[in-house]
Structures are given as C-alpha cells and as structure tokens.
Amino acid sequence: MAAGDQDSRRIVALREELAHHNHCYYVLDAPEVPDAEYDRLFRQLQSLEEKYPALVTPDSPTQRVGAKPLKAFSEVHHGVPMLSLANAFDEGGVKDFHRRACERLGVEHIDYSCETKLDGLAVSLLYENGVLVRGATRGDGRSGEDVTQNVRTIDSIPLRLLGKDAPRVLEVRGEVFISRAGFARLNRAQRAEGGKQFANPRNAAAGSLRQLDPRITAARPLEIYIYGVGVVEGPADEILAGTYSAMLERFRDWGLRTSPETRVARDAEGCIAYYRDIMARRDKLPYEIDGVVYKVNRLDQQDALGAVSRAPRWALAHKFPAQEEMTVLKGIEVQVGRTGTLTPVARLEPVFVGGATVTNATLHNQDEVKRKDVRIGDTVVVRRAGDVIPEVVSVVMSKRPKHTRRFKMPERCPVCDSKVERPEGESAARCTGGLYCAAQRREAIKHFASRRAMDIEGLGDKLVDQLDEQGMLSDLSDLYRLKLEDLAGLERMGEKSAKNLIDALKKSQSTTLARFLYALGIRDVGETTARSLANYCGKLETLMHAEEEVLQEIPDVGPVVAGNVHTFFRESHNRQVIRKLIKRGMNWPEGVVDRDKLQPLSGKTFVLTGTLDSMGRDEAKAKLQALGAKVTGSVSAKTSYVVVGVDPGSKATKAEQLGVVMLDEKAFLKLLSKK
Ligand code: D41
C-alpha cells in the first residue's frame, strides 16, 4: 500500500518524538513522559511501519534488532588509531604528569577535564550524515571487530544524531558498560535459565558485545558513555577547535550520552581533589569504575602535546588501588565470636589491596570454605572493597601445591574445648561453652562496654583481654568491682587513665533499660529490638518473667527472638549476673513506657498500590499511621505488607519478586478492624 501524506508525515514525526524522548531519558537523565507513553508511541510507529514496509528506514528506533546472526565478525581498520591511556597509581604520578605537560607547553597552569574511568570496553561509533553506520571494538587500537549489529541494540546509542548541524562524518569513541543493577539482573536471569554466571560487569559487557547473534546482545543491559573523537569531516568540525568539555557539550546536543561526573579542574591539585571526591563516592555510583581520567581541556594544547607510544601525552588515568589481589594462604584459624559462632579466618601473606595491607580475611563459614575448597598453601584471590571486611573470593587452582588437605571445622572449641554444635539448617557452627568460654566471655564484655551499649569510655578490646588474662573478669558484673589498685598494676596503664576508667564505669551505671538489654548481648537482640522490649515491658522484672507467647506480641519480636530472650533469662547464671550488676549500682528510670511504640502496627512498613474501593489512598495511609505503621512509596525487602488495590502498578510485581506479603482490599480491611 502506498502511504498517504498524512501517514508518512506521522511516521517521521513519531521517529522525531521518540528520538527526543530517548535524548531526555539517556542523555539528560530527565525523562519528560512516563515509560508507558514512550511504549505507546513506539507501538504506533511499529504498526504504521508494518502497514507501509517501504517507509521503514534503518535508523528507525524500531530497527535496533533485526539483523541475522553472523558467522564471524569482520575486521575494521581505525582511520585514526584508538590510543590507550597512560596510568598513574598515586598522587606523585599525577604531579609528575602535570609538571611535564606544563613544561612542554611552557605554561604555569592547565585546566583539565576530569571524568570517571569506567570498567567496560572501548568502542568506536561512526556517523555519516547523522546516521549510525558502523560500530567497532577497539581491538589492538589499529583495528577491531565490526559490531555494528550489536551496538545498534544499545538503547543509549542514537541511531541518528539529533539536529542538523553534526559534521558530515563523525566518529566518536566511548565505553560500553553494564551498571551494577544491570549486572545483578543479568546474572539473576542467567541463573534462572541455567546459563553461565559472569564474574564481573566488565566481563559481562565484553561477552555481550561480542555475540554473533544480535538478539542476545539486545537482551543484555548494555549502556554507553562517550569520551572521545576519531575521524571528523565536514561542517561543525569546529568542535575540534575549542575545549574538550565544550565538545562533550556538543555531543550531548546531538544525543550522545556522556558521563554525568565530568568536571573541569585546575592543575594537579584540582585533579587530586576530584579523585578524592569520586573515591569517597565510588561505592555509591551506579556503575563500577577503576579510577578517574584527566584530560587537558584545551584541544589546541592537546594537539601541541601529541602522543608517545600509543598513548596521548594529554591524558592520564589515575587508578584506584585494586580491590582484588592474589596472595598465599598461610593458615586457617577459627575465631569464636560473642555468641559462640565459629568463623574460619584466613591468615595471609600480607598483601596490599583496596588501599590497605591485609593479613587476615574472612572465610565466612564452613559451607563457604567447602564451596570454594580453600586449602592451606593455596594461592587465593582476596577482595577488599570499601568498608567491608576483606574476604577470600576464590582459589587459583592452577597454583595449588601438591598434597594439600581439605579444611575441616574443629569438633571442639579451639578456645575452651567445649563441644561444637551446628544446629540443623544453620550455616554457623557454635561453641557450646557459653560464658565459660574465654572467647565468648571477652567478646560479650567488649560488646557490653561498646559505645552503643554501656558506652564505657577507655575500656577497649585490648584492656578487656588484659583484665580477663589476669582473671579479673569472671563475669560482666566484675567490671564494677574494679578498683584503682587493680588497674594500676596493668601494663601501659597510667594513674590518670586508671582514674578515668573508674569514673567512666561509674557513669555508665546510670543508663536506660533499652541500653542495658542491648548490652547484655542476647542473641538477635539488636538496638531496635531492645528498645521494643524495654518500651513494651517497662520493667526488667516483667521481661524476665514473660512467657514466649507474650514476648511474641511485642512489635519486632518473632518466635526466634522470643525464644532467645526466654532462654537467656531462664538461665540461672544470667539471672545471677544481672542481680549482681544491679546490686553494684546499675540503674535506670523505671516504667517509662513510650506509648508511641506500643501501637498495634509499630515497626511494620506498608506500601499502597492501585486504588481501593472503600477509601482513598490518603485515608488508608492515615488509618495505617494511626495504628503506628510506617507507609512508604517503594517496595523493598524491609516492607512488611503491600496493599494491592485495583490496577496495581509495578510495586505489586516487585513485591512478588521479593516475596513480600500482599494484602487485597478484603484482607486489608480485616487487618484494620482487628487492630
Ligand atoms: O572511562 C574510560 N574507561 C575511559 C577510557 C575514559 N573515560 N577516557 C578515555 N580516553 C581515552 C583517550 C584519551 C585515548 C581518548 C578512555 C580511553 N582512551 C581508553 N579506553 C580504553 C583504551 C583507551
């Protein structure tokens, strides 16, 4: 069928509109319309194109996937070589780089454009007359592979540049990557389909871009940031005359996506300040980065500096310390925690990783050791990311020495020789020695003294160990029997610090019931639960005599915690320690019950989605809040209930995925009436 004027104009208009919304979404990060509206326009275009196949053009947004699988990739020669980046691993390297650039240019100051260094793979995109005609991998920098079919499936790559003023030929370079969220989603999907797991986002991005079947690539959450330019011909080649940051600005106008973390900074100091800022926010960025990149901002200065051995003299990658390194595992020690949990800890040949020297790394538990099959003498990969505890990630099997033996968890506690138990269904093995076990006793005292518990200033971990070694702490209450003379005899304990500690101990005795309960270190009783217990019962006596069923009535307390609390207070040793603590001066204002925290839905979080017949959303929210519930806008694993009305949104799907309890209107009304 031949298209009427109206239809063909509509097709063009739809493509422009879709391109505009893509730009808003990917480049400006500010969508103007909801996804559903985009989908609607997209489907309109699809059906018009189905009606008039002759009007389908390769740059239509409907044509991202469509090509058939290839047998092999063909080779692409890069007209302008794709250079690599020189590296600096410390601030000295940055200062040297800056000094050399200043000397060569004969200037005192240089402006740099700073950006994040994404951990993906470099590609080249070629636009002719505004249309994407070729995509290629970097390869060795001189030639790479033709991955046009695949880059076309990446939504953040425009198939046609916006506006009319782009150069006739424009080759841009950028990094294709997968965000953290995309990576998690991809691996989850792979697991569900029995496919292979990717080790990290970089591998996933590289593997996805090098698929011969573009339909596979299309299903992968690839993204791009553009950071460079190759061949440029024709009008608007003035982009090569100003600054790099102005060039990026022009790229954005044309619909090309650039990093939002780009800043101009002056001299090495400005660059280093940028590095520190990004380093501090590294773990919060939505994608993984392995450093930052500084580029001399003035393009004429870039030209003057030129390149040496495949790397420009005007750009520098300032790398973060690696988060994973290899080292040798010298031994496995089993540590006993406050509640008796046995944790296998790897003793390592010291290794510098994630910005610190690491000599110990956790192996988590017996199952993990078994899964990773970690053995003494192995070369292992150690990871230290941000503030998390260093861990052993994997074993380099090819480096395993001969005659190694599997690790087995001890059957007796390495500290007190009591029996080790592993309750069914739990991953943790536990020492059954209780407070007779020195390790548990010491950890319990350290917890008791900690800031959020009794807050005994000056009673650090080392001192607790010392006091325990001297036999001065057979239980918690002995802390309040300590005298100046006892402390004076200890190593590294001056008169002044001894006196301060005695004062701090005295001060800690005026406390609150919530703090005291938390300080006792009852299994699974954190600060929030301790507060709930205190608020609900008001008096310690009440709590000590409460039956499990009664405890379960308390907000935040389920059967497990109720059981733990009950067991703790039934234990005569514990009751005795509490009695002694009180006798020696522990006190708190009694019976102050915080009524707010006593409401029937305290501690519960609700999310509302869809419309209810019987009441408006505000009314439902008010009713819930009146009962003490929290009402939030988005579903997470912490959500207690999702109330699902008519026409629910994506929140219902999310709730289903996370296994959050969903209430329909009837169940919701019933819940309100019962409370
Ligand atoms: O984010 C990156 N990985 C990144 C890589 C970046 N932000 N800028 C880069 N700039 C260049 C030059 C200066 C050569 C145009 C790069 C790369 N190159 C690069 N990536 C892989 C090889 C080279």
**Centroid of ligand 1 to alpha carbon of 30 (angstroms):** 26
Element (H, E) at 674: helix 665-674
Ligand 1 neighbour 645 (Cβ under 6 A): no
Average pLDDT, the chain: 91
Beta bridge partners of 673: none
Q: Which amino acid residue places its CA nearest to atom 2 of ligand 1?
A: 117
What digits encode the pLDDT tens for the residues 387-429? Answer: 678 999 888 888 999 999 999 999 999 999 999 998 888 888 9
Residue minimizing CA distance to atom 20 of ligand 1? 122
C-beta of 83 in contact with ligand 1 (< 6 A): yes
Does residue 361 line the site of ligand 1, with CB under 6 A? no
Closest residue by Cα to atom 9, ligand 1, is 227
Q: How confident is the model over 194-217, as a mean pLDDT? A: 90
pLDDT given for residue 594 in this prediction: 52
Atom number of ligand 1 nearest to Cα 173? 15
Does the C-beta of 316 come closer than 6 Å to ligand 1? no
Taking CA atoms only, the protein residue closest to ligand 1 atom 4 is 117
Which amino acid residue places its CA nearest to atom 16 of ligand 1?
85
What is the Cα–Cα distance from 569 to 578, expressed in whole angstroms?
9
Q: Is the CB of 86 under 6 A from ligand 1?
A: no
113 Cα: distance to centroid of ligand 1 (angstroms): 13
- CA of 647 from ligand 1 middle (Å) equals 47
How confident is residue 488, by pLDDT bands cut at 50, 70 and 90?
confident
Secondary structure of residue 638 in the 3-state scheme = coil
Q: Is the pLDDT of residue 1 over 70?
A: no
Atom of ligand 1 nearest to the CA of 293: 7
Q: Is the CB of 224 under 6 A from ligand 1?
A: no
Confidence of residue 592 (pLDDT cuts 50, 70, 90): low
Q: Which fold has domain 5-63?
A: Helix Hairpins (1.10.287)
Q: Which CATH superfamily is domain 513-583 in?
A: 5' to 3' exonuclease, C-terminal subdomain (1.10.150.20)
CA–CA dist 444, 569 (Å, integer): 16
- Between these two residues, 120 and 554, which has the higher pLDDT value? 120
* Ligand 1 pocket member 228 (CB < 6 A): yes
pLDDT digits (tens, 9 = 90+) for 186-201: 999 998 888 888 878 9
Where b means 16+ CB within 10 Å and e means fewer, 430-460 reads bbebbbebbbbbbbbbbbbbbeebbebebbe
Decide whether any atom of ligand 1 lies within 6 Å of the 505 Cβ. no
Ligand 1 centroid distance, CA of 63 (Å): 29
Question: In angstroms, what is the span from residue 421 Cα to ligand 1's centroid?
Answer: 54
- Whether the domain at 86-319 and the domain at 441-508 fall into the same CATH topology: no
pLDDT at 237 over 80: no
pLDDT digits (tens, 9 = 90+) for 611-620: 899 998 888 9
The confidence score (pLDDT) of residue 335 equals 94
Q: What is the DSSP string of 102-139?
A: HHHHT-S--EEEEEEEESSEEEEEEEETTEEEEEEE-T
How are the residues of the chain apportioned to helix, strand and coil, as percentages rounded to the nearest 5?
A: 40, 20, 35
Does the Cβ of 122 fall within 6 Å of ligand 1?
yes
Residue of 112, 118, 142, 175 to mutate, ligand 1, most atoms within 8 A of C-beta: 175
Mean pLDDT throughout 82-108? Answer: 96
Crossing angle for the helix pair 180-192 and 201-209, to the nearest 10 degrees: 70
Predicted local distance difference test score (pLDDT) of residue 420:
93
Q: How far is the CA of 173 from the centre of ligand 1 (A)?
A: 8
**pLDDT of 331 higher than 90:** yes
- pLDDT value for 549: 86
As a whole number, mean pLDDT of residues 40-67 equals: 90
Element (H, E) at 46: helix 35-51
Q: Check residue 52 and give its pLDDT.
A: 94
Per the listing, tokens 């008791």 go with: 448
Hey, how many other C-beta atoms are within 10 angstroms of the C-beta on 489?
A: 9
- Tell me how far the alpha carbon of residue 42 is from its chain's centroid: 33
- Report how far ligand 1's centroid is from the alpha carbon of 228 (Å): 7
Total H helices, total E strands in the chain: 24, 24
pLDDT at res. 599: 66
- E-only strand ranges, 2-153: 75-77, 86-88, 111-118, 121-128, 131-137, 143-145
Closest approach atom of ligand 1 to CA 83: 14
CB contact set of 530 (below 8 Å; sequence gap of 6+): 514, 515, 517, 518
Q: Any idea which fold 86-319 has?
A: D-amino Acid Aminotransferase; Chain A, domain 1 (3.30.470)
Check whether 595 has a pLDDT greater than 60: no
Q: What percent of the chain shows pLDDT beyond 70?
A: 98
Assess contact for 537 and 492: CB atoms under 8 A: no
Ligand 1, closest atom to CA 115?
7
What are residue 542's phi and psi, to 5 degrees? -55, -45
Domain ranges of the chain: 5-63, 86-319, 324-399, 441-508, 513-583, 605-674
Q: Residue 630: which of 519, 524, 556, 527 has the closest Cα?
A: 556
* Interatomic CA distance for residues 62 and 49, integer angstroms: 9
**Domain 324-399 fold:** OB fold (Dihydrolipoamide Acetyltransferase, E2P) (2.40.50)
The pLDDT value given to residue 434: 81
From the CA of 227, how far away is ligand 1's center (Å)?
7
Report which protein residue has its CA nearest ligand 1's atom 13.
315
Distance between Cα 85 and ligand 1 center (Å): 6
User: Does the Cβ of 478 fall within 6 Å of ligand 1?
Assistant: no
C-alpha closest to that of 456 among 400, 528, 515, 388: 515
**Which CATH number among 3.40.50.620, 1.10.150.20, 3.40.50.2300, 3.40.50.1580 corresponds to the domain 441-508?**
1.10.150.20
d(CA 381, CA 395): 6
Residue 596: predicted pLDDT: 46
176 Cβ closer than 6 Å to some ligand 1 atom: no
Say if pTM beats, i.e. exceeds, 0.85.
Answer: no
Label residue 322 by pLDDT band (50, 70, 90): confident
Residue type, 299: L
Are residues 194 and 225 in contact, defined by beta-carbon separation less than 8 angstroms?
no
Mutate to test the pocket of ligand 1, among 82, 116, 118, 227 (most ligand atoms within 8 A of CB): 227
| 512-545: pLDDT as tens digits | 999 999 999 998 999 888 988 998 888 899 899 8
Maximum CA pair distance of the chain?
103
* Three-class secondary structure of residue 91 per DSSP: helix
Q: State the distance from the centre of ligand 1 to the C-alpha of 155, rounded, in angstroms.
A: 21
Q: What is the pLDDT of residue 180?
A: 94
Q: Ligand 1 within 6 A of 312 CB?
A: yes
As a whole number, mean pLDDT of residues 175-184 equals 95
Query: What is the length of the chain?
Result: 675
| Buried b or exposed e, range 363-384, using 16+ CB within 10 angstroms | bbbbeebeebebbbebbbbbbb
**Ligand 1 binding pocket includes 118 (Cβ within 6 Å):** yes
Ligand 1 contact via 227 beta carbon (within 6 Å): yes
As given in the structure block, the two tokens for residue 47 are 């059906």
Question: Is the Cβ atom of 117 under 6 angstroms away from ligand 1?
Answer: yes
Among 117, 295, 446, 604, which one carries the catalytic annotation?
A: 117
How far the first Cα of the chain sits from its last, in Å, is 66
Q: Which fold has domain 605-674?
A: Rossmann fold (3.40.50)
Pocket lining: 85 vs ligand 1, CB cutoff 6 Å: yes
What does the pLDDT look like over 406-417, one tens digit per residue?
999 999 999 999
pLDDT of residue 598 exceeding 70:
no
| Nearest ligand 1 atom, CA 311 | 14
**What pLDDT score was predicted for residue 590?**
80
Does residue 117 carry a catalytic annotation? yes
**Which of ligand 1's atoms lies nearest the C-alpha of 120?**
3
Going from the Cα of 318 to the center of ligand 1, the distance in angstroms, rounded, reads 12
In this structure, what token pair is assigned to residue 404? 């190694």
Over range 130-159, report the average pLDDT. 95
Q: Which residue matches tokens 């009694």? A: 590
**Cα–Cα distance measured from residue 520 to residue 565, given in angstroms and rounded to the nearest whole number:** 11
